[in-house]
Amino acid sequence: MPAEIINGKELAQQLKDNMKEEVSKLREEGLIPHLTVVLIGDNPASKSYVKGKKKASAETGIASDIIELPESTSEEKLLTIITELNNNPAVHGILVQLPLPEHIAEQKVIEHIDPNKDVDGFHPVNIGRMITGKDTFLPCTPFGIVTMLKSKNITIAGQHVVIIGRSNIVGKPVGQLLLNENATVTYCHSKTKDLKEFTKMADILIVAVGKPNVINAAYIKPGAAVIDVGINRLENGSLTGDVDFDEAKDVASYITPVPRGVGPMTITMLLQNTIKAAKGLESQ
């Protein structure tokens, strides 16, 4: 039997519908969740992501604005703008769109954002809160992946999760979140010897590499849940994931497609974090 497809687009829409109701209630109480996105330069991919974030915010009633700055903006100027946003009580969530121009130190910028407004969940304080299981803003892509697994009641506790990829924004945090959910977690990366040996043991296989078809049926344990995080643009302009979907769907029990998989969930979790920021973290 072919795998059941976890449709991220549909799930994202359901979550947005629920958020719309919640935001409407908050607005009645006088609280308008507000996201400010800072965009520097003319990177077309970044521009398109930021546009998507504004559109999704509007769909749920979250107020949002974009501060667009030229490529030549100095680090000092950017830090000053972030300080102003940190001090502005009407702004609940701050997101600086990455990547930044080379003359600006990314980590310095991330660490300058008030952790209580860090809706991307990249600030070291929030990473620490996540690792210790405290209430925090979970990084959006990993948060989306866990939400997708839970939406299908896929057992996580006691399961062997194998993650390919160890980036700070996807691989590492998704492993941590699933460890918090009592999974047994194995990380693989470009230096892993015999990748297949590990992936064949996975009850849940998460692939976040950024190379098309790096995983095919031979790497997948029959009945596994396969989450494809990769977004790769082919020469013909179409998008594809890291997993050979046509092969994998005949071996796996659940699979996420690309597009309409993890991608739409990422923005949705950003909105969820913005609402959380407006309401305040439990630890505040």
- Binding-site positions for NADP(+) read 165-167, 231
Distance of CA 80 to the CA centre of its chain: 27
Q: Phi-psi category of 141—alpha, beta or left, where left has phi over 0 and alpha has psi -120 to 50?
A: alpha
Q: Exactly one of 28, 29, 30, 191 binds ligand NDP (CB under 6 A); which one?
A: 191
Helix H or strand E encompassing 57:
helix 44-60
- Beta strands 184-188 and 160-164, pairing class: parallel
Q: Kindly determine how many residues on this chain lie close enough to bind ligand NDP according to the rule CB under 6 A.
A: 26
Which residues lie below 8 Å from residue 283, measured CB to CB, with a gap of 6+?
A: 129, 134, 135, 136
What residues form DSSP beta bridges with 225?
204, 254
> 52-91 mask for ligand NDP (x: CB under 6 A)?
----------------------------------------
Q: Are 254 and 152 in contact (CB under 8 A)?
A: yes
Q: Exactly one of 141, 147, 159, 273 binds ligand NDP (CB under 6 A); which one?
A: 141
Of 32 and 217, nearer to ligand NDP (C-beta) is 217
Q: Exactly one of 263, 269, 270, 276 binds ligand NDP (CB under 6 A); which one?
A: 263
Question: Which range touches ligand NDP (CB under 6 A), out of 22-30, 60-68, 154-162, 190-198?
Answer: 190-198
Instruction: Please give the residue ranges that form the binding site for ligand NDP (CB under 6 A).
Output: 141, 164-167, 169-171, 188-192, 195, 208-211, 214, 229-232, 262-263, 266
Active site residues: 53, 97, 120
